Amino acid sequence: MTEGSFLHELTGSMSQGAAGNPTVAMIEAAFAHHGLHWRYVNMEVTPENLVAAVRGAKAMGFRGFNCSLPHKVTVIPHLDGLGESAALMGAVNCVVRRGDKFVGENTDGKGFLKSLETAIDPKGKSVVLFGAGGAARAIAVELGLAGTKRITIVNRSEARGAELVALLREKLKLDAELVVWSGDYAVPTGTDVVINGTSIGLYAPEARLALDLTSLKPGMVVADVVFSPVRTKFLDDASARGCRAIDGLGMLVNQGIVGVEYWTGITPDAAVMRKALETAMGL
């Protein structure tokens, strides 16, 4: 540790296009609220500089960092180990110093789960999940680890969907099936949770999921990964049908909470973090 660094424990985020990231405001609000003399700084790291950046963070005593696209997979060979779900997903968005080791974790799915659990315990439940990209993959793996009974992956690209279903079946022994998405999908009777894990609706308030809305029944829990707008058309339509809606901001706040817990060992105040995030996003 360099002289003077006793004032601050450092964490950070490695991404491309790092400017103006509301996550910084959210994490630093948590540090300030809990009297932690820590900093969370945002650094733009290009792919060719990733190895040097990870080594540098270790050398400078960083307690950890988030990494976003395009580093979530390529960072893995430069770490000392992986947490259970990150190993299953093959993607890391949160690095945690444990002793002298940098361990890769994935907080996206964990954040989603925490948010979902405010409405329903996914254990033993049947879930329909739209999407098979990074976010959907993280969510599906955490749902599997949490004891979800059945997952139907509904995805446009068959190859991507099949890859996720194979992972769920082979590594988590889950009852998982793929529906290749074409036309309006009808949610099967008996489904407990319906999740939009695609980017449909991101910055597009009018965008609709190809979904037969009459198949959404009162009492179903409906969740969206999209956080801008916070109230997506999908959530509005589902609420109008009597479903309980969980927005994507909850996932974003909770993945931040899990990160702070990993780094500092304290559970931060969720309301403080959500408020800071909303302010930074101009909500």
Binding site for ligand NDP (CB under 6 A): 108, 111, 131-136, 155-157, 160, 198-200, 202, 225-227, 248, 251-252, 255
Q: Would you say 150 and 127 are in contact if contact means Cβ atoms under 8 Å apart?
A: yes
Comparison of 182 and 189: residue with beta carbon closer to ligand NDP? 182
Residue 33: Cβ within 10 Å count: 15
Which residue in the shown chain puts its C-beta closest to ligand NDP? Answer: 133
Using CA atoms, how far residue 139 sits from 43, 101, 120, 173, in Å, is 26, 26, 15, 16
Comparison of 49 and 157: residue with beta carbon closer to ligand NDP? 157
User: Which residue is associated with the tokens 């996550």?
Assistant: 23
Closest alpha carbon to 120 in 211, 272, 9, 250: 250
Q: Of 72, 110, 125, 233, which residue is the catalytic one?
A: 72
Comparison of 9 and 132: residue with beta carbon closer to ligand NDP? 132
Query: Token pair of 262, please?
Result: 């990993």
Query: Token pair of 176, please?
Result: 């998982």
* Nearest distance, CB of residue 61 and ligand NDP, angstroms: 28
Largest CA distance in the chain: 64
Comparison of 80 and 117: residue with beta carbon closer to ligand NDP? 117
Separation CA 177–CA 185 (nearest Å): 14
123 a catalytic residue: no
* Nearest distance, CB of residue 209 and ligand NDP, angstroms: 8
- Pairing of β 94-98 and β 101-105: antiparallel
Comparison of 45 and 178: residue with beta carbon closer to ligand NDP? 178
Q: What is the DSSP string of 257-279?
A: HHHHHHHHSS---HHHHHHHHHH
Active site residues: 72
